[in-house]
Amino acid sequence: MNAAGMTFVLSGVSSVLGMPFFQSLVADGSIRQDELDGTRSNLSAIVTTLRKTPPDKIETMVAQFDDQLTANLDKFNAGWGHDLLAAFRDAQIMAGYVTTIMAKSGLEG
């Protein structure tokens, strides 16, 4: 993965979580509305920060954490078409992980 790939991937995850079928998790009581909204907002903020960050700073971060980023993305991709709740939880984990490594790398929104 590289800087453009990471931004693209996280934009995609953010877009997928914005799809109406994730609202069914609220409707069936699996999650609360504020949890869904907060996760969507967090991912959107991450993407905005990445888009404003010079690619060389992201490249450094991605190079250091590529294996973990790729593993989290693969887990999300495996679940979102089959198990919405698992995919949602994986997206939350991914957002938390990316937020942590962004902070460690000195990237701020």
pLDDT digits (tens, 9 = 90+) for 3-14: 788 888 889 989
Helix crossing, 84-104 with 3-17: angle to 10°?
Answer: 140
Buried b (16+ CB within 10 A) or exposed e, 57-74: ebeebbeebeeebeebbe
Is residue 26 domain-resident?
A: yes
Domain that holds residue 12: 3-104
Query: In the prediction, which pLDDT does 68 show?
Result: 81
Is residue 63 domain-resident?
A: yes
How many domains does the chain divide into? 1
3-state secondary structure of 29: coil
pTM for this prediction: 0.83
Is residue 109 domain-resident?
A: no
Is residue 20 domain-resident?
A: yes
